């Protein structure tokens, strides 16, 4: 991760540029997530400099109940899923942010249930457990820029929910 700006003047997550360096996420090769990906790295706290995560001695993510990965039964079945965010790089060079929802089997490789990927210059993203087994996806830590992912029983897939503030 490199910062393009001064973290004393701007929030670090707004000026962070993440550099994917792994070729798999939770045992799934990047090119099986998306065919044109060569690298994909799941965000983890140990990849962020501690002085950025712990401003004034407190863990801002933990305090806000934000995480790079959350677990739950998001589709209403007994199967546990994990939702996670990270950065990808296409083999041709462009980078961006991704969101994955994976089934967590007791043995073997996780099964991909949902993928969303957006080319972005600033790739930061975090998750929060929402109401009714939903997943709140945020692109910053202290803003109202978010979307909601929820299992749609009729369509039998995960999808974005309409913004609750829009009527």
Tell me how far apart the alpha carbons of residues 2 and 21 are, in angstroms, rounded to a whole number. Answer: 13
Whether residue 58 has pLDDT greater than 90: no
Q: What are the Cα distances from residue 14, in Å, to 55, 72, 142?
A: 15, 28, 11
- Output the average pLDDT for the chain: 90
Residue 132 domain-assigned? yes
Find the mean pLDDT for residues 30-39.
Answer: 98
Give CA–CA dist 91/72, Å, rounded: 32
- The number of domains in the chain is 1
Mean pLDDT of all residues in 105-116? 90
Cβ atoms of 33 and 40 closer than 8 Å: yes
Where is pLDDT greater, at 49 or 126? 126
Rounded to whole angstroms, what are the CA distances from 94 to 2, 7, 39, 86, 109? 16, 25, 11, 14, 27
- 166, part of any domain: no
Q: Is 91 among the domain residues?
A: yes
Question: What digits encode the pLDDT tens for the residues 111-165?
Answer: 999 999 999 988 999 999 998 899 999 998 877 778 999 999 899 999 888 655 4
CA distances from 112 to 42, 50, 106, 123 (A): 14, 31, 15, 21
The share of the chain scoring above pLDDT 90, in percent, equals: 60
By residue range, what is the domain housing residue 117? 2-159
pTM of the model: 0.90
* Residue 165 in domain: no
Digit-coded pLDDT (tens) for 59-83: 888 888 899 999 999 998 888 999 9
């Amino acid at each position: 991760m490199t910062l393009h700006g001064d973290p004393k003047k701007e929030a670090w997550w707004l000026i962070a540029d993440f550099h994917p360096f792994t070729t798999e996420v939770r045992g799934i090769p990047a090119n099986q997530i998306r065919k044109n990906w060569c690298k994909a790295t799941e965000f983890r706290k140990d990849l962020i400099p501690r002085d950025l995560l712990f401003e004034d001695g407190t863990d801002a993510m933990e305090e806000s109940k934000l995480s790079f990965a959350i677990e739950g039964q998001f589709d209403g079945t007994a199967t546990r899923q994990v939702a996670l965010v990270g950065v990808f790089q296409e083999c041709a060079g462009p980078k961006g942010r991704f969101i994955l929802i994976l089934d967590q089997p007791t043995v073997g490789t996780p099964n991909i249930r949902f993928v969303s990927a957006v080319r972005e210059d600033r790739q930061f993203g975090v998750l929060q457990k929402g109401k009714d087994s939903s997943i709140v996806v945020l692109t910053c830590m202290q803003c109202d820029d978010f979307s909601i992912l929820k299992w749609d029983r009729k369509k039998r897939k995960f999808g974005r929910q309409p913004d609750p503030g829009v009527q």
